[in-house]
Amino acid sequence: MTEENDMAHEVAAETNGETHSGFVALIGPTNAGKSTLVNRLVGAKVSIVSHKVQTTRAIVRGIAIHGNAQIVFMDTPGIFKPRRRLDRAMVTSAWGGAKDADLIMLLIDSERGLRGDAEAILEGLKEVRQPKILLLNKIDRVKREDLLALAAAANEKIAFEQTFMISAENGSGCDDVMDYLAKTLPEGPWYYPEDQISDLPMRQLAAEITREKLFLRLHQELPYSSHVETEKWEERKDGSVRIEQVIYVERDSQKKITLGKGGETIKAISSASRKEIAEILEQPVHLFLFVKVRENWGDDPERFREMGLDFPR
């Protein structure tokens, strides 16, 4: 038995009785609120959130305990019509995550309904064998009769096991989702220690946090193709950590925007990111950001590996 399995059995034994565990893939169109929902269900930040479409690139796993169940949420990239190599890799990753899960949750933005990418996702789900549940998000912004009509329209296309009406923003309906998952996932030992909330390495999460701050600050000015990598991570004797990260952009004009006049923009991004990373690590952080131009980095296999994506040929 492996050390990981030993740990899982030890954790399971502590819950006194049968335990449930499983992987739940959360899929949906871009900007439907998937990352916000995963953070809400896990009870901590494991996936970055911004108004920019396609913010989540690779599958992020957030781990939640509910009663005697350990639920591993797979926050997948938004599914949309791909135009470039990076787009194709993200969409492939999302569908791959769905097919590897024990259960699939489709999240639909109630305001947008089934228009556009949602319609295509419903068609794609017909080919996926796993049980599926439907989550209608942002219900506080839509009339009840419209929600019921939307639920009926979606259920006509796919045989969902259950439909939930929720708000990822304020948590409405989320406890019902967790109750359902806890009793529906198969019996079995937990996959992760009880205090683990994500399988994302800390240096990668730190890079994602900086990317989030970058997008929040430069939502209109900077393409979503910008990328952040943690290049150095040094634990210091005084208990602090020194982190060096590189922000990759594709053109000199984007570098100037990222730096800002007199370095004002990059300082603001660094300050916001450093504060959040320090809160997660619970130790002082010295964060140094560098901006580099790398033309056509979206065609570089190494960048895809860094993001946890397969490089599409």
Summarised one tens digit per residue, pLDDT across range 96-115 is 656 678 999 999 999 999 98
> Which position has the higher pLDDT, 286 or 223?
286
Q: What is the pLDDT of residue 240?
A: 95
Q: Any known ligand binding at 79?
A: yes
Judge whether 13 lies within some domain.
Answer: no
Asked if residue 171 and residue 262 are part of one domain, the reply reads no
Q: Which of helix, strand or coil describes residue 50? A: coil
Examine the pLDDT at 137 and tell me if it is beyond 70: yes
Domain total of the chain: 2
Mean pLDDT of 164-178: 96
Q: What is the pLDDT of residue 11?
A: 45
Asked if residue 212 and residue 155 are part of one domain, the reply reads no
Provide the CA 212 distance to its chain's centre, in angstroms: 12
Judge whether 313 lies within some domain.
Answer: no
Mean pLDDT of 128-156: 94
Identify any residues that bridge with 80 across adjacent strands, giving them in sequence order.
none
Q: Tokens 């929902």: give the residue.
A: 37
| Structural domain containing residue 37 | 20-184
Asked if residue 231 and residue 145 are part of one domain, the reply reads no
Judge whether 282 lies within some domain.
Answer: yes
DSSP E strands in the chain: the ranges are 20-27, 60-66, 69-75, 103-109, 132-137, 162-165, 227-235, 241-249, 285-293
Asked if residue 177 and residue 206 are part of one domain, the reply reads no
Mean pLDDT of the chain: 82
Q: Any known ligand binding at 28?
A: yes
Using CA atoms, how far residue 161 sits from 37, 130, 135, 156, in Å, is: 20, 10, 11, 12
Asked if residue 62 and residue 133 are part of one domain, the reply reads yes
Residue 131's CATH number = 3.40.50.300
Q: What is the pLDDT of residue 208?
A: 85
User: What tokens were used for 305?
Assistant: 């590996």
Q: Any known ligand binding at 78?
A: yes
Identify any residues that bridge with 61 across adjacent strands, giving them in sequence order.
74
Is residue 23 within 8 Å of residue 74, measured between CB atoms?
A: yes
For a pLDDT cut of 90, what percent of the chain falls above it? Answer: 47
Asked if residue 266 and residue 122 are part of one domain, the reply reads no
Q: Any known ligand binding at 189?
A: no
Asked if residue 175 and residue 134 are part of one domain, the reply reads yes
Q: What is the pLDDT of residue 80?
A: 44
Q: Residues 6 or more apart from 144 whose CB is under 8 A from it? A: none
Q: Any known ligand binding at 75?
A: yes
